[in-house]
Amino acid sequence: MPKRPSAWRSTGLSAHIVGWGMAVPSGVMTNDDLAALVETSDEWIRDRTGIRERRIANESESTATLAHKAALAALEVANMLASELDLIIVATSTPEHVFPSTASLVQDWLGATRAGAFDLSAACSGFVYALDVATQAIRSGSAQNVLVIGAETMSRVLDWQDRGTCILFGDGAGAVVLSAGEDEGGVLSSVLRSDGAGCDVLLIPTHNVRDAQGHRINRMYMAGSEVFKFATRVVDESIRQAVEEAGLTLDDVSLIVPHQANQRIIASVAKKLRLDESRFMSNVDKYGNTSAASIPIALCEAIEQGRVKEGDHLVMVGFGGGLAWAALVLRWGIPARLKQAPTLVKQRRVLEYTLARWRARLVRWQRGLRQLWRRFSPGRLWRQWRARQRSDKNR
C-alpha cells in the first residue's frame, strides 16, 4: 500500500481534537411507536439491529439547527471563539438546501467571520472524510482551527411505509474542533475508499431521479442485506490498514468508534479483528443510525463515559452510501499551546454570537431597504410617470 506523500508532514504540525459536542432532538421514537406505523415489532428490531429507540426532529429542528447546537457545545469545550475558526465542514446527506451549504448557515449563526464553509457528501463515512480533509488543511498550514460537524435529519428522507429502512435511522449532530499543534499525536493516519459500482444499493435521490415507471422518487432506498455484506467485508480491513499506516498494532488501540448502523455489524467486525466487542463504542440502541452524525455522537458519549484518556489511540471508522468507507487513527491529547485557558473567552463568545445574530438581521434589513429604494426611488417614479404621459399622448 503506497504511503501518504511526505509533503503531508512538511509543516511539522499535527491536527488534534480540542473540542467536542453533540445535539439530538428531544423527541424519542421507540420500536413500539414504529410498530404502530409499519408491520414490525420491538423484538424483531432489537434482534436484527440492536436499536431500541431513535430521536426524531420536530418542525422547528433541522440539520442546520442541530449542527449549530453541536458546534456551540464543541466551541465551548475548546474554549475557542467562532472568529478563530478558519474552516467549517458539515458532513451530511440531508442538507438544508442543495446550496447554500448547511456549513454556510452555521458559519453565519456562529459569527465565524474568518471561516470558509462547505458541505461534504460521503454518506455515513462523511464525518471521517471531513476529519481527513480538515487534518490535511491543518498539516499544510492553510488552516489552524477547523470545525468538523456530522449532522442529519434522516427522518425527513425516509419512506415511513418501508419497514426495511424506517426502523433503522434517527436524527442528530456531533461536532469536533480540530486544532493545529506542534506536539506529536492527533490524527496519525487515514484510509479513504469508495466503490461506486455499489451506488444503487443505498441512496437518497434528488428531485432529478425517477423510477422505472417515470415517477419521481425522493425517499431513501436501501438493499439492506447487500449493505450488510459490504460493511462486514470492508470495515475490518480498513481498520487494519489505518492502524498499520499509523505504525501501530491493534493491541495499541484502546477504543474503536464505528459508524453506528447495526449492532450485528459491530459484532461481526469485532469477531473478524479478534477483539472483544467491549473495545467498540456503541450507542446504536439509543439513537439508531444517524448517518454522518453517528461517529461524533458516539465519540462524545465515549468521552462522557470516561472511555477516552490522554495518550489513548482511537480508531474511527465509517461506511455506507457510495459505497464509501473510511478509517482514521488518532492519538488523544490537547496540544500544550491550548492548555493554558485564555481569559474572558466565554464572555467574548457570547458577545460574538449576539453580534452574529444582529449582523444577519442588519444585512437582511439593508437588502430589503435597497429593494424598496429601487422600486420607489424618485428617478424610477419619474421615468414611470413620463412613460405613462407618452402612452396617454399616443392614444
CB 60 within 8 A of CB 27: no
DSSP 42-102: HHHHHHHH---EEE---TT--HHHHHHHHHHHHHHHHT--GGG-SEEEEE-SS-S-SSS-H
Size of the residue set binding ligand COA (CB under 6 A): 18
Q: Single out the residue of 14, 49, 107, 260 in contact with ligand COA (rule: CB under 6 A).
A: 49
Of 320 and 333, CB closest to ligand COA: 320
Euclidean distance between the first and the last CA atom of the chain, given in angstroms as a whole number: 83
Q: Single out the residue of 262, 263, 283, 290 in contact with ligand COA (rule: CB under 6 A).
A: 262
Of 95 and 321, CB closest to ligand COA: 321
CB 49 within 8 A of CB 169: no
Q: Is 261 in the site for ligand COA (CB under 6 A)?
A: yes
Tell me how far apart the alpha carbons of residues 263 and 353 are, in angstroms, rounded to a whole number. Answer: 39
Of 243 and 261, CB closest to ligand COA: 261
**In this chain, which stretch among 8-16, 95-103, 160-168, 184-192 interacts with ligand COA, using CB under 6 A?**
160-168
Cell of 391: 402612452
Site residues for ligand COA, 275-294, by CB under 6 A, read 289
Cell of 60: 422547528
Tell me how far apart the alpha carbons of residues 347 and 326 are, in angstroms, rounded to a whole number. Answer: 38
Q: Is 198 in the site for ligand COA (CB under 6 A)?
A: no
Which member of 68, 124, 262, 300 is catalytic? 124
User: Is 289 one of the catalytic residues?
Assistant: yes
Cell of 248: 501501530
Cβ burial of 52 (10 Å; 0-12, 13-18, 19+) is: middle
CB 222 within 8 A of CB 167: no
**In this chain, which stretch among 40-48, 51-59, 182-190, 208-216 interacts with ligand COA, using CB under 6 A?**
40-48
**In this chain, which stretch among 65-73, 92-100, 178-186, 221-229 interacts with ligand COA, using CB under 6 A?**
221-229
Which member of 68, 145, 166, 259 is catalytic? 259
Q: Single out the residue of 13, 89, 167, 178 in contact with ligand COA (rule: CB under 6 A).
A: 167
Of 175 and 231, CB closest to ligand COA: 231
Q: Single out the residue of 77, 224, 254, 272 in contact with ligand COA (rule: CB under 6 A).
A: 224
- Choose among 253, 286, 261, 128: nearest CA to 194: 128
Q: How far is the CB of 204 from ligand COA (least distance, A)?
A: 12
Q: How far is the CB of 228 from ligand COA (least distance, A)?
A: 4
Helices H, strands E: what count in the chain?
Answer: 11, 13
CB 286 within 8 A of CB 89: no
**In this chain, which stretch among 4-12, 146-154, 159-167, 366-374 interacts with ligand COA, using CB under 6 A?**
159-167
Helix (H) or strand (E) holding 21: strand 14-23
Site residues for ligand COA, 81-120, by CB under 6 A, read none
Cβ burial of 238 (10 Å; 0-12, 13-18, 19+) is: buried
Q: Is 124 in the site for ligand COA (CB under 6 A)?
A: yes
**In this chain, which stretch among 12-20, 114-122, 129-137, 220-228 interacts with ligand COA, using CB under 6 A?**
220-228
Cell of 220: 431513501
Q: Is 164 in the site for ligand COA (CB under 6 A)?
A: yes
Q: Is 323 in the site for ligand COA (CB under 6 A)?
A: no
**Hey, which residues are catalytic here?**
124, 259, 289
What is the binding site for ligand COA (CB under 6 A)? 40, 44, 48-49, 124, 163-164, 167-168, 222, 224-225, 227-228, 261-262, 289, 320
